[in-house]
Amino acid sequence: MISPKKLIRMARKWQKLAVLSRKRISIPRTNEDMDAENSSKLSMVDKGHFVIYTEDQKRFVMPLAYLNNDILRKLFKMSEEEFGLSSNGPIILPCDSTLMEYVVMLIRRGISKDLEKALLKSIDTSRCSLSSSFHQGDASHPSLICGY
């Protein structure tokens, strides 16, 4: 487990990087992939927000207040271990967009400490993804599926 002091230092480092890199952040793409719709998505970020990408290259713009969340801190730590720190490129989290959407939904709704601990433990022990195929009709209650 990471000590609280180390978590605070890591969060402050990511906050500083987010503040310093309020410029255009994009994932390298080929010319065929870029069109008017995609280029408009790669605009500047509003003040008080930061941008992250998932492994499947989906872009998330989040308020800086989300940096206080333990789940995001864990994902940032995993990102640092897997991809290293980059001051020029985007921050890429080692998860898919479905898991990230689930995490954002939980943060917005005010995640309970028990659920947060369970999700952190699940992230620690395995690669997690969200399966929407099990809850096709009920998007408000997605199920967390963990694979090895």
DSSP 114-139: HHHHHHHHHHHHSEEEEESSTTSS-T
What per-residue confidence (pLDDT) applies to 12?
A: 82
pLDDT at 84: 80
**pTM of structure:** 0.56
Average pLDDT per 10 consecutive residues for the chain, totaling 148 residues: 79 76 53 47 77 92 92 90 79 89 92 89 66 41 50
Residues 102, 130: contact at Cβ < 8 Å?
yes
Strand segments, DSSP code E, in 42-140 are 49-54, 59-63, 92-93, 127-131
| Under 8 Å between Cβ of 126 and 146 | yes
